[in-house]
Amino acid sequence: MPHPDAHSLRIDAHVHVFARASAEFPRETSDWLPPDREEPVEKLLKEMEAHRIDRAVLVQIGGTSLEHHAYLLHCLKTYPRRFLGIGLIPPDIPSAADHMDRLTDGTGVIGFRLSSLGGPRDPLDRIDIRTFRTYPIWKRAAERDCVLWLYPRAGEAHLVPFLLEAFPQVRVVFNHLFICPGKGKFSIDAKGRPRVDTPVPPMTRYATMRLNQYENVTGHLSGHYAFSKEPWPYRDLAGWHSQLLRAFGANRLMWATDFPWIAEDPGYGPLTRLLDELLPDLTDRERADIMGSTAQRFLRFPSQS
């Protein structure tokens, strides 16, 4: 019987690439995204080819305006068979729908990342999703069949079930192990990459684990470097991986590296072996699902041929 992995696409379901800040590729700058730094798509492709990764999802970084998406759109146009894209939406934009339409119009951008939902922070408040700041985004995502890439903060995790209940047709991908970072828990580590101080399993699991009942919800196995209190292979996260697998199943989980933050430590290659380290008892079928089949099906990547 052929190895399931042999015929399946291997997909890195969450990476970032960016150019130096320039007139051609304008972007916001910060201490961790200085203007001279670049992580070009060609560097990513080299890693992917070296480790037999066929496709990837490029996630916008460096600003939310249309202009800030220039490098992402350039990469999607240059390598249309290798990548799909996830954009960002300015928080105070008057017409999110217009922004979404323009970015998804034949560009390869399939959805948008949200780190805020704009609803009430008090879980005991009466919840009316029509009052959420992001309600127009969810509505447009439903109309345009866009994917929403969720990385909500801990104070908003309880709002997600209400949105999923209202929008069962919107495909949702929870980022980075379904962890919803707490306020004041972000920092930049000595290697210049995001660091999140969080208990694992996270307390937000009470809001996220039972989202497994919604078939339109999947999630990433990624971001380990930011949450683990141990070096590679991040064994302190193994138990949480097992819980996610039990709750969601391999056909609802996607492997991702969060390149470029892992390029030096632990390196792209080791992360392609992550499942061997943290979920060693997977069947071949489950391994193939997490390494690419789930992303191919859920995000609708074109097939190999």
Partner 1 sequence: MTRPTEAQRTQWKEEGYLVLEDAIVGDELCRLQAAFDRCAAEAKSGWLERVEAGVQSAMFFDIPNPLEKDEVFVDLVDHPSWYGFLMDFSGDDLIFLAPQVRTVPPSPVSYVGWHPDVPHTTPLHMKVQIYLNDVGPGEGGFAYVPGSHRKGTGPFPAVRRIDSMPGHKVFTGRAGTAILFNSYGMHTAVDNRTPVPRKSIILIYEKWSRERYNSQRFTAIAPLCATRARRKLFGLEV
Count of residues for the chain?
Answer: 305
Q: Interacting stretch for partner 1, rule CB under 8 A, among 134-142, 149-157, 227-235, 292-300?
A: 149-157
For the window 179-208, what string marks contact with partner 1 as x by the rule CB under 8 A? -xxxxxx------------xx--xxx-xx-
Question: What's the closest the beta carbon of residue 261 comes to partner 1, in angstroms?
Answer: 20
Question: What's the closest the beta carbon of residue 221 comes to partner 1, in angstroms?
Answer: 19
Report the residue number, 104 or 208, with the smaller CB distance to partner 1: 208
Strand order in the sheet with 171-174: 11-15, 55-59, 83-87, 109-114, 147-150, 171-174, 217-221, 253-255
Report the residue number, 21 or 157, with the smaller CB distance to partner 1: 157
Report the residue number, 87 or 152, with the smaller CB distance to partner 1: 152
For the window 206-225, what string marks contact with partner 1 as x by the rule CB under 8 A? xx-xxxxx------------
Is 77:107 a contact under the CB 8 Å cutoff? yes
Report the C-alpha gap between 121 and 204 in whole angstroms.
14
82-141 positions binding partner 1, by CB under 8 A = 121-124, 126-127
Report the residue number, 79 or 186, with the smaller CB distance to partner 1: 186
239-268 positions binding partner 1, by CB under 8 A = 246
Residues facing 112 on adjacent strands:
87, 148
Report the C-alpha gap between 87 and 103 in whole angstroms.
7
Report the C-alpha gap between 167 and 161 in whole angstroms.
10
| Residue ranges in the chain assigned as alpha helix (H) | 41-50, 70-78, 96-104, 135-144, 160-166, 205-208, 224-227, 238-248, 268-271, 274-278, 284-288, 294-299
When asked if residue 155 is in the footprint of partner 1 (CB under 8 A), the reply is yes
Q: Which of 28, 145, 165, 264 binds partner 1 (CB under 8 A)?
A: 165
Instruction: Indicate the pairing of strand 194-196 with strand 186-188.
Output: antiparallel
Q: Which residues in this chain contact partner 1 in the complex, by CB under 8 A?
A: 121-124, 126-127, 153-155, 157-158, 161-162, 164-165, 180-185, 198-199, 202-204, 206-207, 209-213, 246
